[in-house]
Amino acid sequence: MASKKLSALTAITSVGSDDLVYVADTADGGSTYASKKVTKANFLSEYITSAAATTLATNNETHIDNLATLTGVAKDATGLGTFTGSTISDASDIKTALQDLETAAEAAQAGSAVADRTKTQTDSTNATRYVTFVGDDNASATSETVFTDAGITYNPSTNTLNVGNLAVAGTTTTVDTVTMQAANAIVFEGATADDFESTLTIIDPTADRTIKLPNVSGCVPVLAADSATAITATPAELNVLDGITASVAELNLLDGVTSSTAELNILDGVTATAAEINILDGVTSTAAELNLLDGVTATTAELNLLDGVTATTTELNYVDGVTSSIQTQLNAKTADGDNVNNLVGNTSADTCPTSGGVDNYLFLVVDKSDGSLKAIDKTFIEAEG
C-alpha cells in the first residue's frame, strides 16, 4: 500500500489491541513523511495508564496538602496570612515575603537600627555559658562576627563569672566579701608607670584572722620585719610618745626604772644638771632627812661651814637667838675679870632691898673648889662671923 498523508486517512472511533497506528516518519527531515506503522501496545507503552494516573494524582494531592501545612496557611490560600512583626507585610505571597526578609537583612548588614537588636531570654540553668565578643568597637550598629573564649565563663545559676586576667580601667565597686586566693594579692603601680610597684601581701595565716582599718583618716604604720606578735598598746597609750624628741639612747635610760609616776613627778621642774644630780650619788639619807633642806637658801660654801662639826643639836641650839658675836659679848661683860662695874650696872650706895618688911637680897660668893659663883643670904655670913 502506498503511503498517504495523515490527513487523507479515515478516522475510526475504536481501536483493537492489534490495530496499527500509522505515523509519518520524519527521519529524512520531513522531505517524504513516509508512512510507518506501530502497534497500539507499543504506542501506549510510553504513556501512563488511567489507573496509574489516578494513583499518581492521589499521591500528589497528599504532597500538596503537606506542603500547604508547611506554609502555615490553608490549601489554595493566595497569601501567607498575618504576621506579628513589621518586617513581612500581611497577606504577602512567598516571593513578597522573601523580598521583605532580604530587604531587612541587607539593611541590617549595612548598619540599620535592626543590627543593634538581639533577642534575649532569662536563663537560670546550672551550666557553663560563654561570654561573646566582637572584633571591632563600632560607633554605629554594624554586622559583626561574634566570638567566645573558654577563659571567660558565666554560670546563670550561681551568678559566678570566671575570668583569667581582669584589667579594670575605671572604678570597681564590691558589695559583698572579696576572697583572694593568692599570697601577693594586690600590686599598686602608682602614678608613674615604671619598674617599681608596691605589693600588699600577707604572712601565710595559720588560723582565721581579722585586720581592721580604723575609722579615721591618715597613714597605716608599718613594721620593719615580719612578726606574729600583736601590739597590745592602745592608740591612746602610743599617743603618749607624740611630740617626744628623745633619742633611743635617751629613752633607754628608763630601762630598769622601777619608780612610780608619783616618784618620777618629784623631778618635775628640776633644773639641776646631771653633774649636780650626781652629787646625790651614794647619799643614804631618807626623804625626811633630805626634807631638812627644804627652804634652805644657804650656799655650798655656807653649808661647808658645818664640815667637821661634832656638836649635837642641843649644843647648836645654844646659839638660837644670838644676834652678835658671843666672844665680843663676853669680853664686854668681863673684860677685867675682877671689875665689879662689869658685873653690875650701878655701884652707888643704895637702900637694902626688902619685900613685905623682910630682907630681899643675896650675897654672891666664889666656890674655891670649882670657881663657880654661888648665892647665899646674910644668915650664912652672920653664922661665919
Whether the pLDDT of residue 349 is over 70: the answer is no
pLDDT for 13:
72
Task: Give how far Cα 141 sits from Cα of 109, 138, 176, 261, Å.
Answer: 9, 7, 36, 80
Residue 317 predicted with pLDDT over 60: yes
pTM to 2 decimals?
A: 0.37
Would residue 202 be called left, alpha or beta, if left means φ above 0 and alpha means ψ between -120 and 50 degrees? beta
> According to the model, what pLDDT value does residue 217 have?
93
* Least confident interval from 80-94, 285-299, 328-342: 328-342
Find the mean pLDDT for residues 216-228.
88
Q: How confident is the model at residue 195, as a pLDDT?
A: 92
Residue 313's alpha-carbon distances to 291, 301, 309, 363, in angstroms, are 17, 21, 11, 36
Q: Would you put residue 40 in left (φ > 0), alpha (ψ -120 to 50) or beta?
A: alpha
Average pLDDT over residues 276-302: 82
Contact 143, 109 (CB under 8 A): yes
Which residues, in sequence order, are bridge partners of residue 355? 358
Q: 17 vs 309, which has greater pLDDT? A: 309
